[in-house]
Amino acid sequence: MIESIVSYGLALGAVYALIGITYNVMFAASRVFSFSAGAVGMLGGVFGALFIDRLGMPVVLGFLAVLAVGALIGIVTEIVTVRPVLKSLEQHLYVLSTLAFALMIQQLVAIEWSTEPQPFPRVLPFGPGIFDQQFWLPMLACGSTILGLELLYRHTLVGRAFLAISEDNYAARALGLPERELRLASFALAGAIGALAGFTGGEMMLAYFGNGPLLNFYGFVPVALGGMGSNRGAVAGGLALGLFQQSANFLVGGVFASVAVFVVFILVLLIRPEGLAGAAAARRV
């Protein structure tokens, strides 16, 4: 039982962490939290099943196509829901515009795909067991994403430009950085990461339109608790959340697991609104 709690918990946690990173990458570029993070996660599973199972694409090709779809959704998110709102005075309208967009995606999937969970194909021809691919694939994806982002941010010029924009938008623009293009690129990257989460977690979570809000919430918990914009915080928080949820699931039952996660989430935020590892808010007057 311990093994299945750990493997299942870590795998689920890795999916949450990846969605958390999706939030973070978008937030860093635009100071916007987007509800589309959960939506691209859900699409990762749905399109994986569509491309590989229904259309019979080779796994590698299907995988790349899923990432491309995710990136595309990211770009559309930026153009349709974020860019117009950043211009307006009331910036918190982004909550509404991204929510509307995520709901549209969800409803489209419900109508055009299915309202029932659909099976997700086996990606690699390895047998079942504790080291089943459905468990280590998300962890592998999470690890390589974190590594890739570190390399990108620390060792490439483009990555440093991303950092500059998230640190101080005005100063970065004054230096001549193409802020709009970089923001677009960030959203594309975020979309691909979200789709990766859905794809690698597909076997566990299935190709189901209702995964969107679920991933939205459980992906946001580690970000909120770990502190805004911190990818390491998101990974630590995500894995902890996954383990906690699975052990609660096995020991006391699913509903109480959800309630427990929720109560912890609310309590921590009420006590420390900036998250366990975050810094206090800046001046307002």
Partner 1 sequence: MRDTASAPALAAKAGGFARLEALLPVVVLAVGGSCLPLLGDSYLGVIATRACIYWVLVSGLNLVVGFAGQIAIGWVALLTLGAYVTSVLSAGTVMPELSPYLALAIATIAGAISGVIVGLPALRLRTFYFAMTTLGFATIVTQIALAWKSVTGGGVGVPGPVLPWPFASPWGFYYFCLAIAVICTWMTTNVAASRFGRALVAIRDAEVAAESVGISKPALLITVFVFSGAVAGLAGGLFASLQSYITPDAFTFDLSVLFFIAILIGGRGSVLGPLLGTIILTALPEFAAPLVAWSTFLYAALLLVIVLAVPGGIAEMLDYKNRRPLAQHREIRPRSELLSKLMTDNANPTVLALNNVALSFGGLRAIDGVDLLIHSGEVHGLIGPNGSGKTTILNVISGYYAPQAGQVRLNETALQPRAPHTRARHRIARTFQTPRLIGAASVLENVMIGGTIDGHGAFVESLLSLPRHCRDEALLREDAVAALTAVGLEQLAAVRSDRLQHSELRFVEIARALMLRPSFLLLDEPAAGLSVDEIKRLGALIVAISRRGTGVLLVEHHADLIFDICDRVTVLNLGKVLASGSPGEIRAHREVVNAYLGA
Residue 24 CB, shortest distance to partner 1, in Å, is: 13
Residue type, 24: N
Alpha-helical (H) ranges within 128-201 are: 133-155, 157-167, 169-174, 179-200
Residues between 182 and 241 with contacts to partner 1, criterion CB under 8 A: 213-214, 216-217, 220, 224
CA proximity to 215, closest of 201, 232, 230, 235: 201
Residue 262 found at the interface with partner 1 (CB under 8 A): yes
- β-bridge mates for residue 118, sequence order: 207
Selected range binding partner 1 among 58-66, 90-98, 150-158, 165-173, rule: CB under 8 A: 90-98
Residue 164 found at the interface with partner 1 (CB under 8 A): no
**Would you give the distance in Å from CA 31 to the centre of its chain?**
16
Q: Which of 33, 113, 208, 209 binds partner 1 (CB under 8 A)?
A: 33
Q: Which of 3, 54, 58, 84 binds partner 1 (CB under 8 A)?
A: 84
Q: Which of 56, 92, 124, 174 binds partner 1 (CB under 8 A)?
A: 92
- How far apart, in whole angstroms, are the C-alpha atoms of residue 121 and residue 134? 10
Residues between 96 and 125 with contacts to partner 1, criterion CB under 8 A: 96-97, 99-101, 103-104, 107-108, 111
Category of 68 on φ-ψ map: left (φ > 0), alpha (ψ -120 to 50) or beta: alpha
Query: Between 2-30 and 133-155, two packed helices, what is the crossing angle to 10 degrees?
Result: 30
Residue 251 found at the interface with partner 1 (CB under 8 A): no
87 vs 155, which CB is nearer to partner 1? 87
Residue 80 found at the interface with partner 1 (CB under 8 A): yes
Please give the backbone phi and psi of residue 32, each rounded to the nearest 5 degrees, phi first. Answer: -125, 135
User: Rounded to whole angstroms, what are the CA distances from 283 to 88, 257, 280?
Assistant: 21, 38, 10
- How far apart, in whole angstroms, are the C-alpha atoms of residue 154 and residue 146? 12
Q: Which of 1, 90, 170, 176 binds partner 1 (CB under 8 A)?
A: 90
Contacts with partner 1, residue ranges (CB under 8 A): 33, 80-81, 84-85, 88, 90, 92-93, 95-97, 99-101, 103-104, 107-108, 111, 213-214, 216-217, 220, 224, 253-255, 258-259, 262, 265-266, 269-270, 273, 283-285
